[in-house]
Amino acid sequence: MDFNNAIKISASALSANRLYMNVLSANLANVNTTRTADGKPYQRRTVLYESVPAAETFDASLDGFMQEDIQKVRVADVVSDGRDFKEIYDPSHPDANEQGVVLMPNISPIEEMANLVDATRSYEANLTALTTAKQLSLKALEIGR
């Protein structure tokens, strides 16, 4: 794998992880939001990833792989989670229905925080891979002097 592909792969993962962390942060920020612009409670969102070829050329690389075998990650979509809303009895709440039930987002702060830690660790790992690729390239340039 060449330096350019290493950069593309790590950069795509960094971008995807950054978006995922933003979505998780929005979920955490809206854990108690009972009414959005459409009048419904906030719906938890999640990110769908897909892999796409990292290279536009299809010639053989030095390590024996074809360029189309090298994949990078891309965010395919940000979708709403299909979980049902939590129903909480609170007749004093301004969004309560006639029976005094309030629909709340079905977001688990513990789950969101665990996902956020996982996304952060993945971001750090890809940043380390990017830094390592840069260091290896600089060392290769020093050998050529």
Cβ neighbors of 61 (< 8 A, separation 6 or more) are 1, 2, 5, 67, 70
Predicted local distance difference test score (pLDDT) of residue 57: 46
* pLDDT, tens digit (0-9, with 9 covering 90-100), for 34-63: 999 998 999 999 999 998 887 654 444 445
* 117 residue type, one letter: V
Q: Is the dihedral of CA 67, 69, 71, 77 positive or negative?
A: positive
* Per-residue model confidence (pLDDT) at position 26: 97
pTM over cut 0.95: no
Average pLDDT for the chain = 88
The secondary structure of residue 139, as a DSSP letter, is H
